[in-house]
Amino acid sequence: MGGLVNALLLGAVLAVAAMADDDIAQKFVNDPKAGWAASGACASSELFKDETVQGGVAARLAITAKSANPWDCGGHIALTKPLKAGDVLLLAFWAKTEKTPDGAAAIDVNANIQNDSAPYNSLGSAMVHVEAQWKLHFVQAVADRDYGAGAVGTQLQLATAAQVIDLGPAFILDYRPGYDRTKMPKE
């Protein structure tokens, strides 16, 4: 698995390198090798090889049923480094649909960067339109206060229907306070 993880990391760095104006690895506030985890009782995940996505490895998240709240099940990545108030963040991740509800062509997913404990306040979110082909999606955020390592993460809210989504490399980059967000990609 070590070779797959290295390939995943290399592909992730290459995919986002065009967005950076300096050393991108210094901006990571997540562990790109860790990948996506399923969250909630109605979600499960498994890794699989897919040469059509950067890095050649993806996580398949299966949502078994619609839940009362869209955030009840989904995909999650924890930040491994602390944040300071005002830090400008960018989540970049690859996604595609594998099975959509009622044969729809795509699904709309709320992608959030948020506090990982109650009250789960959002630092930034975007509605991403996930289709059958791999696409790189972006979410911008700004830290509203200081956070310790592990206190913030991403959450893809997927409990809107029974569906399957494939998630490729993902990284969260910290551009620090004052960074011009107009220079960053957005959904």
Residue 127 is predicted with a pLDDT of 97
What pLDDT score does 22 carry? 56
Separation of alpha carbons 185 and 1, rounded Å:
31
Rounded to an integer, the average pLDDT of 87-92 is 97
**What pTM, to 2 d.p., does this model score?**
0.86
pLDDT higher than 60, residue 3: no
User: Which comes out higher in pLDDT, residue 20 or 104?
Assistant: 104
**123-145 pLDDT tens trace:** 999 999 999 999 999 999 999 99
Please say whether the beta carbons of 174 and 83 come within 8 A.
yes
Whether the per-residue pLDDT at 179 is higher than 90: the answer is yes
Residues sharing a CB contact under 8 Å with residue 103, sequence separation 6 or more, in sequence order: none
Chain length of the chain: 187
Read off the amino acid at residue 130: V
**For domain 2-183, is the CATH number 2.60.120.260?**
yes
pLDDT over 90 at 187, yes or no: no
Domain boundaries defined on the chain: 2-183
pLDDT at site 38:
95
